Amino acid sequence: MVPMQHPAMPIALEAVATAMSITRAVQHRLQEVSGHLKDDRSPVTVADYAAQAVVSMLLREGLSDQGLRRIVGEEDGGELSRPNNAALLDAVTAAVRLWRGDVSQAQVLEAIDACNHDASGDCWWTLDPVDGTKGFLRGGQYAIALGLIVDGQVHAGVLGCPNLSVDPGKDPAAADSEGSGMLYGAQQGLGAWEFRDGDPAATPMRITCPAWTDDKSIRCCASVESHHTNKGQTSELLDAFENDRIMVRLDSQAKYAVLARGQADAYLRLPTRDDYRECIWDHAAGALVATEAGAVVTDVRGKELDFTTGQRLQNNRGVIAAADGLQQRLIERAVAMGVGSP
């Protein structure tokens, strides 16, 4: 049995699993959706809104504690409710009806708008309904990420990776179109667990990120999009090691899952601009899954990620997540290089 003692975890797992199935359905109909709405980016917009609506509905219906019903969501329903977006709202509602056939447009908008918490207080969720926009559009990796923040700490996290293969021997950057994806759950101090086929009712398996030693190669995950990480500094940082290097570029917090289950040794997200700070929903769930699997996650200066500063990690610069034994050496090199310094 999974030691998921928090009463919200079963609901959170169900919510993310449901969102996974809906977003996969939209992704499989990319051309149809974009053609209907005359917009090549509209499929991910539909998936974003639909996933947020579903997660919001399930959390609000399944949890009575008001603190556990507060959500900091990435999407805002105000734009969706405008008259010129009527066709988009129709498409979003149709996607949600794949799960609940009698849902109304008003209920969809209400659920999306309920995710408007300001990241204050002692307890709330942060949600990224589709993390990895470009990955979604290219038919690659993306994630649904839901993290529970309690007293400034990520207390629980659920990460859905709809296109990640159950086989850890396969290239994690390659989408598994035949499977149903992988679902991950973690609680602070209680480990990280994997549910195959995105099924929260499946028998879970505990996952671990093995410690790294000098005799190993470095399998490093990094973002596909150049504006997400400094590729030049990434190469310079890794050049400090004589070990063989294997670079894997994929989108979204699926990188955290790949690290957590021992399919990679590091995930580097080095700052590209002095003024940029990471959004909390881009890291909360994934960072906890990786940490509870045994990896070490900090910013590029070795500081713990601070979730007490609103919707962005204002006290942190970038992220270095890696297996124990490697992460500390990466931080040493990053500090020596001045990565993240003004």
Lookup: tokens for 119: 């990241």
**What is the 8-class DSSP label of residue 203?**
P
Lookup: tokens for 218: 């470095």
Task: Answer yes or no: 176 catalytic.
Answer: no
The answer to whether the beta carbons of residues 159 and 166 sit under 8 Å apart is no
Annotated catalytic residue within 133, 272, 308, 309: 133
How many whole angstroms separate alpha carbon 325 and alpha carbon 329?
7
Residue 31 CB burial class (10 angstroms; 0-12, 13-18, ≥19)? exposed
Task: Answer yes or no: 239 catalytic.
Answer: no
Between the alpha carbon of residue 271 and those of residues 226, 266, 275, the distances in Å are 11, 16, 9
Annotated catalytic residue within 23, 45, 48, 176: 48
Cβ neighbours of 286 (radius 10 Å): 32
Lookup: tokens for 283: 């890291």
Lookup: tokens for 130: 């589709």
The answer to whether the beta carbons of residues 270 and 222 sit under 8 Å apart is no
The answer to whether the beta carbons of residues 279 and 234 sit under 8 Å apart is no
Strands, E, within the chain: which ranges?
71-73, 123-131, 143-150, 153-161, 182-187, 191-196, 205-206, 218-222, 245-249, 266-269, 296-298, 319-322
Which residues are known to be catalytic? 48, 133
